[in-house]
Structure 1
Amino acid sequence: MTGQPAPRFAVSIGVWAVALSVYVLAVFHRSSLAVAGLAASERFDISASQLATFTMLQLLVYALMQMPVGLLVDRFGPRTVLLTGLAMMTAAQTLFALADSYALALLARVVVGAGDAMVFICVLRVVSSWFPVRRIPVFTQLTGTVGQLGALAAAAPMTWALGAVGWTRAYLVAAALGLLIGVAVLLVVRDSPEERHVRGPSTSPRALVGGLVEAWRLPGTRLGFWVHFCTPFSANLLTMLWGYPFFVKGEGRTPGEAGLLLSLMVLTFIVAGPVIGWYIGNNPWHRSTIVLSVVAAMVLTWAVVLAWPGSAPMWLLVVLVVVVAIGGPASVIGFDIGRTSNPVERLASATGIINQAGFYATLLLVILVGVVLDWRTPGGGTDYPPEAFTWAMSVQFPFWALGLLQTWRYRRRARSALGGVATQVPATF
Structure 2
Amino acid sequence: MNRLPRHAAVAVFLAFAFAYFISTLLRAVMATLSPSLSSEFGLQARDLGLLAGGYFIGFAITQLPLGAWLDRYGPTKVVLAFLTMAVAGCAAFAMSSGFVSLLGSRVLIGMGVSACLMAPLTGYRRWFDAGTQMRATSWMLMTGSLGMLASTLPMQWLIPHVGWRVPFWGLAAMVVLSMVVIAKVAPKWMVPAPSSAKGGFPVRAPRRKGCCQVTAQYGVIRISGMSWSWASSTMVPWWPFKRCGLGHGLRK
TM-score (norm: length of structure 2): 0.79
In 2, Cα distance between equivalents of 1:46 and 1:21:
32
Q: Does 1:53 align with 2:45?
A: no
**Matched residue type, 1:72:** W
**CA displacement 1:36-58 (0-9 Å, x = unmatched):** 11222222212111111112222
Verify the 8 A CA contact 1:66 1:117 in the aligned structure 2. Answer: yes
**CA displacement 1:91-141 (0-9 Å, x = unmatched):** 111110111111111111111011011221101112112110132222112
Q: Does 1:28 align with 2:25?
A: yes
**CA displacement 1:251-272 (0-9 Å, x = unmatched):** xxxxxxxxxxxxxxxxxxxxxx
Q: Does 1:13 align with 2:10?
A: yes
Which of the residues 110, 126, 140 maps onto 1:129? Answer: 126
Count of aligned positions: 235
Q: Does 1:158 align with 2:150?
A: no
Match of 1:97 in 2: 94
- What is the aligned-residue identity percentage? 22
Q: Does 1:109 align with 2:106?
A: yes
**Matched residue type, 2:136:** F
Which of the residues 38, 45, 53 maps onto 1:41? Answer: 38
Match of 2:190 in 1: 198
In 1, Cα distance between equivalents of 2:63 and 2:159:
31
In 2, Cα distance between equivalents of 1:297 and 1:110:
28
Match of 2:115 in 1: 118
In 2, Cα distance between equivalents of 1:39 and 1:162:
8
**Matched residue type, 1:198:** M
Distance 1:82 1:300, change over 3 A: closer
Verify the 8 A CA contact 1:30 1:116 in the aligned structure 2. Answer: no
**Matched residue type, 2:53:** M
1:119 alignment partner, SS class: coil
TM-score (norm: length of structure 1): 0.48
Distance 1:74 1:48, change over 3 A: same
Q: Does 1:86 align with 2:78?
A: no
CA-CA distance at 1:154 after TM superposition: 1.0
In 2, Cα distance between equivalents of 1:179 and 1:96:
16
CA-CA distance at 1:15 after TM superposition: 1.1
Distance 1:66 1:175, change over 3 A: same
In 2, Cα distance between equivalents of 1:62 and 1:95:
17
**CA displacement 1:319-356 (0-9 Å, x = unmatched):** xxxxxxxxxxxxxxxxxxxxxxxxxxxxxxxxxxxxxx
In 2, Cα distance between equivalents of 1:181 and 1:291:
26
RMSD: 3.5
Choose between structure 1 and 2: higher helix proportion: 1
1:147 alignment partner, SS class: helix
CA-CA distance at 1:198 after TM superposition: 2.8
CA-CA distance at 1:7 after TM superposition: 2.5
Bigger relative contact order, structure 1 or 2 (CA pairs below 8 A, ≥6 apart): 2
In 2, Cα distance between equivalents of 1:300 and 1:88:
33
Alignment of 1:178-193 (within 5 A): 178-190=175-187
Alignment of 1:25-424 (within 5 A): 25-190=22-187, 196-199=188-191, 286-287=218-219, 290=222, 301-306=233-238, 316=250
In 1, Cα distance between equivalents of 2:18 and 2:228:
33
Distance 1:52 1:200, change over 3 A: farther
Verify the 8 A CA contact 1:127 1:136 in the aligned structure 2. Answer: yes
Q: Can you give the 5+ residue segments of structure 1 that lack an aligned partner in the other structure?
A: 191-195, 221-279, 318-385, 387-429
**CA displacement 1:363-384 (0-9 Å, x = unmatched):** xxxxxxxxxxxxxxxxxxxxxx
**CA displacement 1:208-247 (0-9 Å, x = unmatched):** xx99xx9xxx9x9xxxxxxxxxxxxxxxxxxxxxxxxxxx
Deviates more, 1:155-164 or 1:178-187: 178-187
